[in-house]
A and B are shown apart, each in its own frame.
Chain A
């Protein structure tokens, strides 16, 4: 056993889990791809506000979200999202490209608070789509994510960070993302016990409720979500889907101990399919959420690989 190996074995499990997982370059590269994905994700989340008439009525919220209530914000100023949204996208891009990274994170968070608050205050249904995003942005903020792979890092010639400085925020993000699924399972068991899964379970109830909420066509088909309607009529299949959800949410945290990128990719494709299915069958809008999975990979290696492929392509195009 050489010296570095014996050093490694002496370190605690916590140290190895959080500090020995990623290269220094990974954090900045994840920031870049996460930032690009974040811009698209947030625009998609708040498009419904941008479809409203900027100069139309200012709706008085039926139930403002808690911080709007505290601040006395009780009306939707319909032109404001048209100002906040470009600022939010610009801040995401500044964050992605590593220019004024930390201030950009604060701006993105403030914009999320406003846009989410507006969206969730019309009728008071509070959605959870920004919660993991916020938790990840906090980690980016307190990390040295701006020190590499960005405009400021290049211009100011900052010295590179060490591997452990890049590793812990990424590992903390992975823990948060993985546990989000696990906590969802625990919440089901705390609220409903195994009743959530029995027979067609909550999934069948939701498939029916969502499929019929826009009504039927003259021929008797549902107007939207016809796949959900068909599936709801097969409770046996729905039961097995419920078991699959149980297994997925229970076992997903195993990904935290997987180093092989191919196995991780396989698991995350499964998670992405879970979100796509939720969207297609139930209109649960975590469709673009899988962009957060970039936190599980050394995106710097991916970036180099992508660049080399593009470089190879260019001469080929020139030759043709």
Chain B
């Protein structure tokens, strides 16, 4: 910029682009409206996941098409442990990344129009995260469909702890209601086995409440 006028024009363009993203609620790198931890789903309860490092380090319980069972760990997949935790706690339970929750919430009509026109439908309408884990695991190991070595079933057990608002307000975090749920992903669909033994199909639409992490 060799003159103040050209510098001012550049600054105008710069701020229109970077701050325009804020008004348009764009959250695609390198632009952002900085929503990071801005979403709070206020409900009567708070559900969180009690992790277990030893269970998680062992990995996902997997079954091959030939019936053999094994564990698939972060080291086997060669991915960072934080990402394996997200896979174990969230994706296998069909929970997407948090930006999906933020993207379409409380949209102004103009924002909704441009998102649906240029980006597509709400990503939460057709969640397929659990199935994607199975696809990624097989893809990583190079197993083709029809390969007897391929993984046809994955399982991940996690304890879901639910606090009431009264417990949270009093700081009583020792006595949540705990339910062990096991995500079961197969080639024919994804399921959750609840603590009482009941097996349900994994929800794939927008969930009313979710466990946070």
Q: Are A208 and B48 in contact (CB under 8 A)?
A: yes
Q: Mark A133-161, 1 if CB is under 8 A from B, else 0.
A: 01100110011100000000000000000
Cα of A19 to Cα of B1 in the assembled complex, Å? 13
Q: Are B77 and A59 in contact (CB under 8 A)?
A: yes
- Minimum CB–CB distance from B127 to chain A (whole Å) comes to 11
Interface centre among B7, B34, B49 (most CB of A within 10 A): B34
Contacts of B140 in A (CB 8 A): 57-60
Contacts of B25 in A (CB 8 A): 190
Q: Mark A118-134, 1 if CB is under 8 A from B, else 0.
A: 01101111101011001
Contacts of A76 in B (CB 8 A): 78-79
Interface centre among B79, B140, B161, B168 (most CB of A within 10 A): B79
Cα of A210 to Cα of B196 in the assembled complex, Å? 27
Cα of A184 to Cα of B1 in the assembled complex, Å? 31
Contacts A123-B86, A205-B40, A229-B173 given; indicate if A172 touches B14 (C-beta within 8 A): yes
Q: Are A232 and B173 in contact (CB under 8 A)?
A: yes
Q: Mark B94-110, 1 if CB is under 8 A from A, else 0.
A: 00111100100110000
Residues of A178-193 contacting chain B, CB below 8 A: 179-180, 183-184, 186-188, 190-192
Chain-B contact segment, one of A34-42, A47-55, A82-90, A260-268: A47-55
B115 in the interface (beta carbon within 8 A): no
Contacts of B32 in A (CB 8 A): 128, 131
B30 in the interface (beta carbon within 8 A): yes
Q: Are A60 and B78 in contact (CB under 8 A)?
A: no
Q: Are B38 and A190 in contact (CB under 8 A)?
A: yes
A72 in the interface (beta carbon within 8 A): no
A209 in the interface (beta carbon within 8 A): yes
B44 in the interface (beta carbon within 8 A): no
Contacts of A78 in B (CB 8 A): 78
Contacts A125-B97, A131-B29 given; indicate if A187 touches B168 (C-beta within 8 A): no
A279 in the interface (beta carbon within 8 A): no
- Minimum CB–CB distance from A270 to chain B (whole Å) comes to 19
* Majority SS at the chain A contact face: helix
Contacts A123-B91, A206-B37, A212-B161 given; indicate if A142 touches B51 (C-beta within 8 A): no
Contacts of A196 in B (CB 8 A): 38, 40
B42 in the interface (beta carbon within 8 A): yes
A14 in the interface (beta carbon within 8 A): yes
- Minimum CB–CB distance from A7 to chain B (whole Å) comes to 13
**What is the size, in residues, of chain A's interface with B at 8 Å between Cβ atoms?**
82
Cα of A65 to Cα of B28 in the assembled complex, Å? 9
**What is the size, in residues, of chain B's interface with A at 8 Å between Cβ atoms?**
75
- Minimum CB–CB distance from A128 to chain B (whole Å) comes to 6
Q: Are A199 and B40 in contact (CB under 8 A)?
A: no
Residues of B45-87 contacting chain A, CB below 8 A: 46, 48-53, 75-80, 82-83, 85-87
Q: Are B168 and A214 in contact (CB under 8 A)?
A: no
Q: Are A191 and B102 in contact (CB under 8 A)?
A: yes
- Minimum CB–CB distance from B17 to chain A (whole Å) comes to 9
Q: Are B22 and A183 in contact (CB under 8 A)?
A: yes
Cα of A198 to Cα of B91 in the assembled complex, Å? 29
Q: Are B52 and A215 in contact (CB under 8 A)?
A: yes
Q: Are A208 and B78 in contact (CB under 8 A)?
A: no
Write the residues of chain A forming the contact surface with B, with a CB cutoff of 8 angstroms. Answer: 14-15, 18-19, 48-49, 51-53, 56-63, 65-67, 75-76, 78, 116, 119-120, 122-126, 128, 130-131, 134-135, 138-139, 142-144, 164-165, 168, 172, 175-176, 179-180, 183-184, 186-188, 190-192, 195-196, 198-202, 204-206, 208-210, 212-216, 223, 229, 232-235, 284
Write the residues of chain B forming the contact surface with A, with a CB cutoff of 8 angstroms. Answer: 1, 4, 7-8, 10-11, 14-15, 18-19, 22, 25, 27-40, 42, 46, 48-53, 75-80, 82-83, 85-87, 89-91, 96-99, 102, 105-106, 129, 132-133, 135-136, 139-141, 161, 163, 165, 168-173, 211-213
Q: Which 4 A-B pairs have the closest CB atoms?
A: A60-B139, A56-B78, A122-B83, A48-B80
